[in-house]
Amino acid sequence: MDIIVLKPRASEKEKKHIIKRLESLGLEATVSKGTERTIIGVIGNTSKVNEEVENSIRAAAGVETVMRILKPYRLASREFKKTATTVKVGKQVIGGKKICVIAGPCSVENQSMMVEIAKEVKKAGASFLRGGAFKPRTSPYSFQGLGEEGLKYLALAREKSGLPIVTEIMDPRDIDVIEKYSDVIQIGARNMQNFRLLLVVGESKKPILLKRGLSATIKEWLMSAEYIMSRGNMNVILCERGIRTFETATRNTLDLSAVPVLKKLTHLPVVVDPSHGVGIMEHVSPMAKAAVAAGADGLVIEVHTHPEEALSDGEQSLRPDAFKQMMKELKPVAQAVGREI
């Protein structure tokens, strides 16, 4: 028993009674209120619930059906929620008709570059500003990010451009400072299965951009989304950013088939990051167009005014003029699939 669907006219008292019953069984309830029906998601070890107990809940007042989900993820599944989830951040909606573009440098390097890039990407039509202040670098000798100082520059760039901020958290100990400055919290590919970190952001009120792990299957990725959702944070955005394959011509292999697959398996919005997906500037725009054609709800694009001087990921960062051109070329693609940008 994983999902309890209530009758359209089930009363508050009936709902509370069922939740109490679940709690007495050592389970937790997550209530999802739709326009017609309320659905109760059951969290905990539901396999321990025997058939008799399940039948008694099925017979309780206000209950329409009780279902089992065969998939290991529940709250993230389409069975749990049929309608697509939209994540609202200020005036922006991720998962709606508009394709949201999250653009900015890989790392926050200094104040003036942050403000300049923010203004450029805003002018070209981006909806969010990105930039890492805590950077997950392969080498301990590479630039590790400016920490809180970088977050302050991001906040200033938000003030100057009006764009909400997406930034990465690497350590549960940074949750307060990240929450203070960010609008959306990014979990990077390398931390997709950092379960303690997932639980911490699951307690946050901020939406989470969950990147796919370097070698994670779609199922593992959805299980990570489930970790976050199991703590009450339903605003998870999945981000395909390329996976490890035998191919070395590109930095990663951008798995665009994940987009339609995810649309079927989950109600969560899906965005694509072609910058980390291919790792080569000139291939970013074609893959961005392909991502939109495949049904992505948004894009993550690295932009830098001087990619040759960037402290990280310069080789895959678009100059503002190339970003502007890409945004222009995305318009007819978005339109062709019933979206706008």
Per CB under 6 A, residues contacting ligand PEP are 106, 132, 136, 188-190, 211, 241, 276
Q: Which of 244, 228, 245 is nearest to 236 (CA)?
A: 228
- Residue 201: contacted member of ligand PEP, Mn ion, none (CB under 5 to 8 Å, by partner type): none
Beta carbon nearer to ligand PEP, 29 or 271? 271
Beta bridge partners of 314: none
- Residue 226: contacted member of Mn ion, ligand PEP, none (CB under 5 to 8 Å, by partner type): none
Q: Does 297 bind Mn ion (CB under 5 A)?
A: no
Answer yes or no: are the C-beta atoms of 166 and 186 closer than 8 Å: yes
Which span sits near Mn ion by CB under 5 A: 8-16, 75-83, 220-228, 309-317?
A: 309-317
Q: Does 106 bind Mn ion (CB under 5 A)?
A: yes
Min separation Cβ 255 and ligand PEP, Å: 13
Min separation Cβ 276 and Mn ion, Å: 6
Residue nearest to ligand PEP (CB): 188
Strand-by-strand arrangement of the 38-43 sheet = 28-33, 38-43, 3-6, 63-67
* Amino acid in position 218: I
Q: Does 313 bind Mn ion (CB under 5 A)?
A: yes
Query: Is the Cα dihedral 49, 51, 56, 58 positive or negative?
Result: positive
- Residue 241: contacted member of Mn ion, ligand PEP, none (CB under 5 to 8 Å, by partner type): ligand PEP
- CB-based contacts of 186: which residues, under 8 Å, 6+ apart? 130, 132, 166, 167, 168, 169, 208, 209, 211, 239
Min separation Cβ 73 and ligand PEP, Å: 21
Q: Which of 268, 274, 283 is nearest to 256 (CA)?
A: 274
- Residue 136: contacted member of Mn ion, ligand PEP, none (CB under 5 to 8 Å, by partner type): ligand PEP
Residue nearest to Mn ion (CB): 106
Min separation Cβ 41 and ligand PEP, Å: 29
Min separation Cβ 147 and ligand PEP, Å: 15
- Residue 174: contacted member of ligand PEP, Mn ion, none (CB under 5 to 8 Å, by partner type): none
Go through 16-25 and write b for each residue having 16 or more CB atoms within 10 A of its CB, e for each that does not. Answer: eebbebbeeb
Answer yes or no: are the C-beta atoms of 284 and 274 closer than 8 Å: yes
Residue 281 — left, alpha, or beta (φ > 0 → left; ψ -120 to 50 → alpha)? alpha
Beta carbon nearer to ligand PEP, 77 or 186? 186
CA dist list (Å): 152 to 209, 252, 312: 20, 31, 19
* Amino acid in position 320: P
Min separation Cβ 110 and Mn ion, Å: 17
Beta carbon nearer to ligand PEP, 83 or 110? 110
Min separation Cβ 191 and ligand PEP, Å: 8
- Residue 71: contacted member of ligand PEP, Mn ion, none (CB under 5 to 8 Å, by partner type): none
- CB-based contacts of 174: which residues, under 8 Å, 6+ apart? 134
Answer yes or no: are the C-beta atoms of 144 and 180 closer than 8 Å: no
- Residue 304: contacted member of Mn ion, ligand PEP, none (CB under 5 to 8 Å, by partner type): none
Beta carbon nearer to Mn ion, 106 or 166? 106
- Please tell me whether residue 303 adopts helix, strand or coil conformation: strand
Min separation Cβ 157 and ligand PEP, Å: 16
What binding mask, one character per residue, do residues 234-273 give for Mn ion by CB under 5 A, x or -? ----------------------------------------
Beta carbon nearer to ligand PEP, 19 or 326? 326
**Nearest-angstrom CA–CA distance, 320 and 257:** 29
- Name the token pair of 55: 């039948």
State the residues that interact with Mn ion by CB under 5 A: 106, 313
